[in-house]
Structure 1
Amino acid sequence: SREVVFFAVGFETTAPANAMAVYQAKQLGVKNFSILVSHVLVPPAMEAILSSPTNRVNGFLAAGHVCTVMGYHEYEPISRKYRVPIVVTGFEPVDILQGLVMCVRQLEEGRAEVENQYTRAVKREGNTSAQKLIQEVFQVVARKWRGIGEIPSSGLGLREPYREFDAEERFGVASQCVEESPECISGLILQGVKKPHECPAFASRCTPEHPLGATMVSSEGACAAYYRYRRPQATSPARSDEA
């Protein structure tokens, strides 16, 4: 029968659905299904950024959809350790504005704690049923992040009982990798060290149609946002002899 491979990518948000697909495939004895796992975890990435000697990040808006699944108790030790405000925030414009206000207020008051702006969807403990399913199917592994490199314990991989559904092993592609562009500075942008317009390739050799790095690939990326909402270049007024 024809092999079906699903690209299991994303943060903790999409992990439960992919875990359920693998779990059901095992229960049903499906033999022609596998997943290429590229799940990543938010807290280890935050710690990697905050522990960097070049860190310039003073606060975080924690993604509401991730916290809907995982809750926000994982962020509390990070906030205490690095003395940074973390505000769980939704995605509507008013959510983001309120999240920013809450984060700035903490900074102005000298506080560093986890607050939940997205109370209509997020609980501190998260979705425990989804978490149990993730833990049943996946295990925590090291994961390479585009622009940053490998971060320990920052990804998910299939546990041994479900390893038969691992496309990397089934098709022997674990050693394959794609070289990153040497002129891309997405890693520095992700860490808040540089801004997108400071990249020499921005809006010329790097666009949403032809992205060089992770922050331009995703429509949610900083470079893609800067590109979409960038100000048009001012044009010089025509000289009188050109009229």
Structure 2
Amino acid sequence: MAMLLLFSYKAFSQAYIKSKIIQPDYKKWEQVKEGMAQDEVEKLLGAPIKVIGNPKANYLSTVYYGTVVEKSVVFPMDLDFVILYHSGKVYKAVNPFMIEKLPSDGIPSVPKPFAPQNNSMFTVNIVDLRWFPAAGKYPMRYEIEIELYGHSPDPSKMEWVKDVTLNSDIPFLSYPATGGKERWRVRAINDLGESNWSEYQYFELVPPTVAVQQPQRNNDSAKKESGIGVQPVHPPEPAPLPPPEGGHRVQQPESDLKK
């Protein structure tokens, strides 16, 4: 499996065009708070790199102050430093790492896996591993460790067995599905150090569901279920009650029945 993983990773890496890394000063970025005026933000961070909409308008507008990964065929989402404005004031500031506290020493933060969903079961031909990138000094690379659940060197035991460790320059890795239970984790590395490993993420690859064949029914059965060509069946007339012991049943006059 390791060779298949490596081949797949190289194929996807060649298709990816690296984006230019642009990051604001982390300390200044963390000073941006909800309700700040646009003028205050620009005085703190400088001019944005891109603006969508009118920040002073009475609707949400998006202002970009940096990017870590651009949307591509391989990674179909932007990972940017974004400030949302409403009526000229900060509505929300979002960093691409999805963490609250950014590192001040440049050492990578712990990447945050988000796909596949933890403890999920699914059927695919290609497995895509995705995570939010690490904050810190760039360039950054990622080390991904993948383990399979199966027989250990002792055939009588089933346990997690390390399958392969791969590297990626982007928060994405793709490889051919092999089936069974897998788990993976990721850490970030730059020239200042490395992050801790992320928590293990678990998933299971299951074979496609086999369609259940319905048993063939004869025409009479089908007609009975659909009601086509079937005569209604009337319940039988109730049997007359037996006469009381020691006597005969007395016929009640019709005039009494009508009363």
Fold shared by both chains (TM-score > 0.5): no
Taking structure 1 as the reference length, the TM-score comes to 0.19
- Which is helix-richer, 1 or 2? 1
Q: Which has the larger radius of gyration?
A: 2
Compare relative contact order (CA 8 Å, sep 6+) and give the higher one, 1 or 2. 1
Taking structure 2 as the reference length, the TM-score comes to 0.18
